[in-house]
Amino acid sequence: MKQGFIRHFTTVAAVMALGLGASVSGAKAAETIKIGSFLAVTGGASFLGDPEKKTLEMYVEKINAEGGVLGRKLELIIYDSQGSPKKAVPFAKRLISDDKVDVLLAGSTSGATMAVIPIVEAAGIPYISFGGAGVIVNPVKKWVFKTPHTDTLAVRKIFNDMKKNGLTKVGLLSGSGGFDKSCRKQTLALAGPSGMTMVADETHGKGDTDMTPQITKIKNTPGIQAFMYCGFGAATSIVAKNFKQLGVSVPHYQTHGSASMSFIKNAEGGAEGVRLPAAALIVVDALPDSHPQKKVASAYRDMYTSKSGDSVSTFGGHAYDGLMIVVEAIKRAGSTNKEAVRAEIEKTRNYIGADGIYNMSPKDHLGLDEESFVMVEVRNGTWKMLK
Amino acid sequence: MSLLRLENLSRSFGGIDAVDNLSFAVEPGPIHSIIGPNGAGKTTLFNLITGLYKPSSGKIFFNESDITGKHPWQLAGLGLARTFQNLQIFFNMSAVENVMVGMHLKSDTRFHASLLRFKSIVTGDRLNRERAAELLNFVDLGDYVGSETSSMPYGALKRLEIARALAADPSVLLLDEPAAGLNPAETESVDSLIQKVAANSVTVILVEHDMRLVMGVSDHIFVLEGGRLLAEGKAYDIRHNPDVVAAYLGESGRVR
Amino acid sequence: MFAEFLQFLFSGITVGAIYALVGLGFTIIYNASHIINFAQGEFVMLGAMSAVFFVSVGMPMPVAMLLAIIITIFIGLALVKLAIEPARNASIVTLIIITIGASIFLRGAAQVLWGRNFHSLAPISGNDPIMIGGAAVLPQSLWILGSAMLIVMALRYFFDRTLIGKAIVASAHNPLAARLAGINARFVLLLSFGLSAMLGAVAGFLIAPISLAYPSVGIMLGLKGFCAAVLGGLGNPMGAVLGGLIVGISEAMTAGYISSAYKDAVAFIIILGVLFFRPSGLFGIRGTERV
Amino acid sequence: MNLATPRTGGMLALAAVIAILPLLLPNSFYYDIVILIGINAIVCIGLNLLIGYTGQISLGHAGFFGIGAYFSGILGANYGWPAFASMLAGAAFVAAVSFIIARPIMKLKGHYLAMGTLGMGIIISIVLTQEGDLTGGPDGMPVPPFSVFGFSLYGEKTWYWVVGVSLLITVWLALNLVDSPVGRALRSVHGSEVAAETLGVNVPHYKVQVFVTSAVIASFAGSLFAHYAGFITPDEAGFVHSIELVTMVVLGGMASTFGAVVGAAILTVLPQLLTVFHDYEMLVFGTILIGTMIFMRRGLVPTIAALFGERKE
């Protein structure tokens, strides 16, 4: 009679223990500086996470080759959250309490970042996010910083350029991802105060292969003067192609989400004439030598293209700046004490990065302003910087 | 007052009249058989009576109340139970549990009671389990009480289906080819089982090809052919009815 | 206004033809084995990605297409040998999980081999649209629609007229009887997956110029292709094409006239509506329960 | 008290594991994983009643999980409802919605049923994504902690016991349901609908009943998850999550309540183990899925139980 009880107990317990025991990772060398990261390396947002992962890996390797930081090697632990906040949360807890990392450089998407913030704030660990949404640092959270330009900056830059060309009636198309929806929310919010009127507001789904219905509807909106698209990844090229096929005549604006060579190459000529705000990194060749970012941006561009074989994108730039800001902060703090490193990150002043010049403060955990964006236009297959 | 009465019942499947304007009545009495060559519409008739198929036209009366178009689970409540030509055993359950499903209508099936395991559920199950064991003994499956259905031989499963049908305390039991695929010894035991069932005041309606079984056990026989009633009567009359013989042996077999 | 309607219609046809082509892949395998291959979307992805790869290493387009077909067929056969055959008489749920496992495996392999960036493929006859009644039609979508029709006719001829075709259909309806009649069920299964993989590859490089190619392109395509096949009635090639067109056009019309945000939701509502009134699809054979 | 039956033996074994486990969990990461196992197991137990016992299929049950989560989120954060009230409201709404959907959808069979439920789940996740001003859209929304009588549940340790007890209750309820006339009626639907009908089992009624039951259980689990995680996104309702849940049930062992628990445990822990493979993670995961379906067709627990030579309940 006892037999049944023992049999059940062993079955359930054995499986549980096997699972949990095996995931206790090996012992760790005491003195390495541990950088924890979870990125959307695969899945829908892999277009963000992949360059970020490659950038972190190549630069940690480079820094370690040059003797590491404070004489200590950097150890990089990266988990693939596949862009899903549901997967990001356990990885964040694993990095903080199991791998016991010193600093977090993670969260390719805003959704994943927002889900992890409560954990980071409770644990008290410096966290630099690669998520786009402004809400990540607004209202300011003690331990949370971010390097990517917020969509607020991008939208304001776009509106300024539109106003310069006398365009005030804008038709908007946006995707269904976190980046797309947050960009749409900012656009609709800033339209009024910037004197713009949104005459159309259309959406397309994840993985859609043809946006002609939405673009046709926007094209036929009476009084429309400019078309704007919020999105990133393959959809940016499809929208550009459809835009050209439908022969839409109004100026075509997109966001820094499309700032990569893949966007131009895969739009098969549809990208011609598209204007968008981009980090200086993207048009590094067109920058005058006097431009403060010229040296840093071209060094990063050369390193990235040679090591990864892909063209450079602003998303890789976010990771580069994040890593460098943390390394500088640790050097200035002289230790990996979390409170000290956090304070130093907050004191980052006039840091020249690939994506812009960072001036952080207790009230601004991003430190970028519109100047970090450069308006560019696609001319015969490459980026041209606009004055 | 007839137990079961069909009035111009017909059912066609895209042009084929499986059952064609059939009318006959089954009087209370122990064992009735429905025979006829393959494709005569026997199983279709069973499916119409037990509500699995809806008739194209005509009516069915059970104890003189119209049951045309009723769902099978409503008919089970009126005391109609059946077995199937090709086995419909719940292989995901044990032999005893199969029989216990037969007692479904008389068990406590209140959702909250089952969820919170009320006393009535526990005692009810214990009684049903005992009765199921009795029924298995009744159909000579005593030594299969504790076993799984997946390990039982074909003959035993045939009898399990009968025990399961009996668990619903039917007044009429429809047996669809109970002897199909059985060897002579097993057929013999089915014969005695049918008689045992009939002896418990359960009217049995049998569809069967094994003439020796039919002629041996039936009080009344209906002969179907091409979905129509060819003849009905006592076993002796049917055996010597020229139309019946012709239906089976073809025109050359017609006895002048 | 009519031009706008035409434009929505053409977009619906373009997308519908894509779903139809993917849906046909489901139909072939279902016809032969009553299995729904949830890795069908990945066959399309493999066709597109391998074609892009071969073009990028300098192969001319036709050679790249041929190689893409060969590779995808090989993977389709490997899928049968390694995953489907060992689990032949498993339940529907188990087979669904196996094909989902296969789709995850193939996606993982594509990412390791070809990276995670998105690529495009040159269209067969240029990118400049043909103007009809004020609406733009892509030559590529005409290629897709044309090949979908061609494939349906070829399939209809194959399944109705040729001996092997009938063997496939026979072994789907009654595997035991088919085996007794001397039909080699394993060969039929291999043939159907190979055929469906070839079709997936063809769909891949026809679709790539429009939908672009990246490792996870197969997920949504597979889903919508499944919708097309089910809407049309599983196992009916013509049904899959019509189902695909209905899904595509309803998406485009919803985006145009109702709300682009709920475009996909409306497409699924239509599918559910059809299934509720015709539980085996528009043209599916309504089998009665044989007891 | 017969220890051999799954009811008492199994329950005691699970209770013992839940009681002892905290001694083995070194830090909050492990607590988090075990709590997620518990929540997934609760959903899988409900789903197992539908798939394993009644032989149906649903590729959309994460939709109900998502509705439960968002009811707790929206009512809690925007309207200040107490946690219990929003949880019950979510369950009531899911019960109503699933009842209305169940009647037509459960007429479908096999692949068509898979398609119908897949569509249902996707529609729910689209609504959660597009209704941004209510649900916060794809970037999700914060959920206040579970407060009851002023005392709010916070931290892994307290949640461990909340989820542990909820899991035990769910297992107990499921075992009761299975080992009763209703349970046998559900299993008879799986065995042969035709035979069940002729024995008086109102098959459509029981299909609807088990569909609604599994939906409500998913909704409760969704609410628990929302308050525990503190942040939810439309991914909770997405079809990827639905497929994960079905895989847990099938992997653990269909028609086995403890199988559902073990399946949930394995598929929650596996991604943490597979991080070792980095880029090859998906390759390994796909292979494991295929392998277990081929070699352990009846699922893990029934196969192991069969090794011990005893039919697993």
C212 contacts chain A (CB < 8 A): yes
Q: What is the mean pLDDT of residues B90-105?
A: 94
- Could A207 and C255 be called an inter-chain contact, meaning their C-beta atoms sit closer than 8 Å? no
Per-residue pLDDT band at C287 (split at 50, 70, 90): low
> What distance in Å separates the CA atoms of residue A257 and residue C235, rounded to the nearest whole number?
42
Which tokens hold the place of B181? 């695929």
Which positions in chain B touch C288 (Cβ < 8 Å)?
Answer: 13, 53
CA distance B23 to B12: 16
Helix ranges, chain A (H): 2-22, 46-65, 85-93, 110-123, 151-164, 178-191, 212-219, 234-245, 261-266, 294-308, 314-333, 338-346
What pLDDT sits at residue A273? 92
Domain boundaries along the sequence of chain A: 2-150+297-368, 152-282+373-385
Whether domain B1-79+172-178+203-256 has CATH 1.10.510.10: no
Rounded to whole angstroms, the Cα distance separating A269 from C120 reads 12
Cα–Cα distance, B171 to A236 (Å, whole number): 73
pLDDT attached to residue B252: 63
Instruction: For residue D199, give the nearest of B52, B104, B148 by CB distance.
Output: B104
Higher pLDDT, C243 or B37: C243
Distance from CA of C22 to the nearest CA of A (A): 13
How far apart CA B172 and CA C48 sit, in angstroms, is 65
How many Cβ contacts (< 8 angstroms) between chains C and D?
128
Q: Do domains A2-150+297-368 and A152-282+373-385 have the same CATH topology?
A: yes
pLDDT of residue B251: 67
Q: Each residue of B31-70: pLDDT tens digit?
A: 999 988 888 888 889 999 999 999 999 999 998 899 998 9
For residue range A266-306, list pLDDT tens digits in order: 888 889 999 999 888 888 887 888 888 889 999 999 999 99
Q: Which residues of B84-99 are buried (b: 16+ CB within 10 A; e: fewer)?
A: bbebbbbebbbbbbbb
**Encoded tokens for B54:** 């809806």
For range A332-339, the mean pLDDT: 91
Tokens, residue D177: 């349901």
Q: From CA D2, how far away is CA A2, in angstroms rounded? A: 9
Q: Would an 8 Å CB–CB cutoff place D30 in contact with chain A?
A: yes
DSSP A355: S
Q: Residue D2, class by beta-carbon neighbours within 10 Å (0-12 exposed, 13-18 middle, 19+ buried)?
A: exposed
Count of C-beta atoms within a 10 Å radius of residue D26: 11
User: Measured in Å, how far apart are chain D's first and last C-alpha atoms?
Assistant: 17
Mean pLDDT score across all residues of chain B: 89
Separation of CA A156 from chain center: 18
- Which residue's entry shows tokens 């005549």? A249
B52 to chain C, any CB pair closer than 8 A? The answer is yes
Share of chain A above pLDDT 70, in %: 92
pTM to 2 decimal places: 0.90
pLDDT at C99: 93
Cβ–Cβ contact D238 with C under 8 A:
no
CB contact under 8 A, D250 and C102: no
pLDDT, one tens digit per residue, over B124-134 is 999 999 999 99
Give me the amino acid identity at D236: E
Interface probe with D: pick from A1, A16, A174, most Cβ of D within 10 Å? A16
Lowest mean pLDDT among A318-327, C134-143, C166-175, D226-235: C166-175
Nearest one of B24, B46, B69, B37 to B172, comparing CA atoms: B46
Burial B45-81 (b: 16+ CB within 10 A, else e): bbbbbbbbbebeebebbbeeeebbebebbebbeebbb
User: What is d(CA D106, CA D94) in angstroms, rounded to the nearest whole number?
Assistant: 16
Q: Which residue has the tokens 């005030």?
A: A168
Average pLDDT over residues C229-235: 87
Is the model more confident about A217 or about C278? A217
The neighbour count for residue D151, using CB atoms within 10 Å, is 9
d(CA B107, CA B110): 9
Per-residue model confidence (pLDDT) at position C288? 53
What pLDDT was estimated at residue D313?
42
pLDDT for the residue numbered A94: 93
pLDDT, average across residues C30-43: 88
Is the complex ipTM more than 0.90?
Answer: no
Tokens of residue A263, six digits: 């966007």
Share of chain B above pLDDT 70, in %: 97
Q: CA B216, CA C76: separation in Å to the nearest integer? A: 60
Report residue A212 as tokens: 């002609």
- pLDDT class of C290 with cuts at 50, 70, 90: low
Q: What secondary structure, in 3-state letters, does B90-121 show?
A: CCCCEHHHHHHHHCHHHCCCCHHHHHCCCHHH
Nearest to D261 by CA among D29, D4, D34, D65: D34
Q: Which of A98-112, B226-240, D256-270 has the lowest mean pLDDT?
A: B226-240
In CATH, the architecture of A2-150+297-368 is 3-Layer(aba) Sandwich (3.40)
Domains of chain C: 2-277 (1.10.3470)
Residue A25: is its pLDDT beyond 80?
Answer: no
Determine, for residues C92 and D279 on separate chains, whether the beta-carbon distance falls below 8 Å.
no
Least confident of A3-12, A200-209, B179-188, C142-151: A3-12
Of all residues in chain A, the one with the smallest CA distance to C1 is: A220
Q: Which residues pair with A382 in a beta bridge?
A: A379
Q: For B114, which of D177, D187, D255 is closest by C-beta distance?
A: D177
C32 or A91, which is more confident = A91
The low-confidence residues of chain D, meaning pLDDT below 70, are 1-6, 309-313
CB atoms C275 and D116 under 8 Å: yes
Which of the residue ranges A204-213, B163-172, C102-111, C273-282 would you say has the lowest mean pLDDT? Answer: C273-282
Q: How far is D82 from chain B (nearest CA, A)?
A: 26
Higher pLDDT, D206 or B16: D206
DSSP string of C145-185? HHHHHHHHHHHHHHHHHSHHHHHHHHHHH-HHHHHHTT--H
Q: Are A45 and A313 in contact (CB under 8 A)?
A: no
> Where do the domains of chain B lie?
1-79+172-178+203-256
**D233–chain A Cβ distance below 8 A for any pair:** yes
Q: How far is residue B205's CA from residue B220's CA, in Å, rounded to a whole number?
A: 9
Q: What mean pLDDT do residues A329-343 have? A: 92
Q: b/e per residue, C249-261, with b = 16+ CB within 10 A? A: bbbbbbbbeeebb
Taking only the tens place, the pLDDT of each residue in A265-276 is 888 888 999 999
Interface probe for D, chosen from A48, A79, A86, A187 (most Cβ of D below 10 Å), is: A86
At residue A75, the pLDDT reads 94
Give the B:C interface size as CB pairs under 8 Å: 10
Separation CA D44–CA D262 (nearest Å):
10
**For chain C, what is the mean pLDDT?**
87
Domain range A152-282+373-385, its CATH number among 3.40.50.720, 3.30.450.20, 3.40.47.10, 3.40.50.2300: 3.40.50.2300
Q: Residue A174 pLDDT more than 80?
A: yes
Q: Cα C110 from chain centroid?
A: 19
Integer angstrom CA distances of residue A56 from A34, A319, A323, C129: 13, 6, 7, 43
d(CA A55, CA D85): 48
Q: How far apart are CA C168 and CA C158, in angstroms?
A: 10
Q: Are D191 and D199 in contact (CB under 8 A)?
A: no
Strands A351-352 and A275-279: unpaired
Phi (first) and psi of residue B81, to 5 degrees: -135, 160
pLDDT at residue A27 above 50? no
- Position A13 scores a pLDDT of 55
Distance, CA of C222 to chain centre: 7
Whether A and B touch (3+ CB pairs < 8 Å), yes or no: no
Query: Helix, strand, coil: what percent of chain C each, to 5?
Result: 75, 5, 20
Distance CA B226, CA A76 (A): 81
